[in-house]
């Protein structure tokens, strides 16, 4: 996953408008006070969400949690796997953003995750999931891309190429190879990562929400162009 690239995550995604995304999240979670953000990465959303919510973040990568903590000392952070964690606390709302849900590798993992998130919500609490692509939305042949970002002292180039596995099967998977070049006056470092992400269908997502005790709708009008699942835990 992001093991090698964690330190460059914020630079690579410097085009992402976290401020306007959080404005939308805030409007969807009106009335909530406490918020758990799972798969929170480097805590970029929290820079804005912490103005209105008591924010707790959880991520599987300790490197990300360290960055998030340094950025947002007011927030509470935990290293954990969203499929199975126990914070011994219930929140008014839970979020799982920027397609992090796609890193789950099976329908069972999706079911366990939604059940785990339900246990961390108060009755009537809201769950927002920003999904990865559905199988229909994956367009073969358009999966080569390059991003270049720079600071005063470093330049980062990431090239990615994606393929689909198990196309037409119950759960197709996108497999993206990321190649990184990190340049500075000291020299050029290069490394690569593989990101495997499940292409859950809308029916599979909605079924997992319902099985975990949520009413849920899918909204095309998301934070970006990936849509949103808006769930409410039945009281
Ligand atoms: C694309 S990043 C999104 C990070 C952040 N939500 C954002 O919007 O910038 C995906 C995140 O999912 C996390 N992740 C993947 N699998 C996970 C799991 N099983 N439990 C918790 N976090 C996970 C990764 O470590 C990474 O931080």
Task: Ligand 1: list residues with CB < 6 Å.
Answer: 1-2, 38-41, 44-45, 59-61, 64, 81-83, 97-100, 103
What tokens were used for 114? 């939604």
Q: Where are the alpha helices (DSSP H) in the chain?
A: 9-12, 18-28, 46-49, 62-71, 107-119, 202-211
Residue with CA nearest ligand 1 atom 19: 81
Per-residue pLDDT tens digits for 162-172: 999 999 999 99
Per-residue pLDDT tens digits for 59-105: 999 999 999 999 999 999 999 999 999 999 999 999 999 999 999 99
- Pocket mutation for ligand 1, best pick of 44, 100, 160 (most atoms within 8 Å of C-beta): 100
Using the predicted structure, report yes or no on whether residue 141 has a pLDDT greater than 70.
no
Report the atom number in ligand 1 closest to the C-alpha of 39.
22
Assigned architecture for domain 13-134+200-233: 3-Layer(aba) Sandwich (3.40)
At residue 152 the predicted structure's pLDDT band, cuts being 50, 70 and 90, is confident
Looking at the DSSP assignment, which residues form a beta bridge with residue 209? none
Examine domains 13-134+200-233 and 135-198 and report if their fold is the same: no
CATH tag, 135-198:
2.20.130.10
The answer to whether 41 and 98 are in contact (CB under 8 A) is: yes
Report the atom number in ligand 1 closest to the C-alpha of 37.
6
Residue with CA nearest ligand 1 atom 15: 103
- For residue 113, what are the CA distances in angstroms to 33, 36, 144, 199? 23, 14, 31, 16
Q: What's the confidence (pLDDT) of residue 138?
A: 86
Using the predicted structure, report yes or no on whether residue 212 has a pLDDT greater than 80.
yes
- For the chain, the domains span 13-134+200-233, 135-198
At residue 3 the predicted structure's pLDDT band, cuts being 50, 70 and 90, is confident
Q: What's the 40 CA to ligand 1 centre distance in angstroms?
A: 6
Report the atom number in ligand 1 closest to the C-alpha of 40.
6
> Which residue in 180, 183, 174 sits closest to 147, CA to CA?
180
């Amino acid at each position: 996953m992001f093991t090698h690239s964690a330190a460059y995550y914020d630079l690579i995604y410097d085009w992402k408008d976290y401020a306007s995304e959080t404005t939308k999240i805030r409007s969807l979670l009106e009335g909530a006070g406490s918020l758990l953000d799972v798969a929170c990465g480097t805590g970029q959303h929290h820079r804005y969400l912490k103005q209105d919510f008591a924010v707790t973040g959880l991520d599987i990568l300790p490197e990300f949690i360290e960055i998030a903590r340094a950025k947002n000392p007011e927030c509470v952070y935990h290293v954990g796997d969203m499929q199975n964690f126990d914070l011994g606390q219930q929140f008014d709302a839970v979020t799982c953003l920027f397609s992090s849900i796609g890193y789950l590798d099976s329908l069972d993992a999706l079911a366990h995750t939604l059940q785990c998130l339900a246990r961390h919500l108060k009755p009537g609490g809201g769950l927002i999931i920003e999904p990865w692509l559905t199988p229909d939305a994956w367009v073969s042949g358009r999966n080569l891309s390059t991003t270049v970002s720079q600071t005063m002292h470093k330049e980062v180039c990431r090239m990615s190429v994606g393929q689909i596995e198990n196309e037409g099967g119950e759960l197709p998977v996108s497999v993206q190879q990321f190649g990184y070049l990190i340049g500075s006056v000291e020299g050029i470092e290069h490394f690569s990562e593989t990101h495997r992400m499940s292409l859950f269908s809308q029916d599979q997502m909605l079924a997992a929400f319902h099985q975990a005790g949520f009413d849920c709708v899918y909204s095309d009008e998301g934070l970006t162009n990936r849509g949103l699942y808006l769930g409410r835990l039945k009281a």
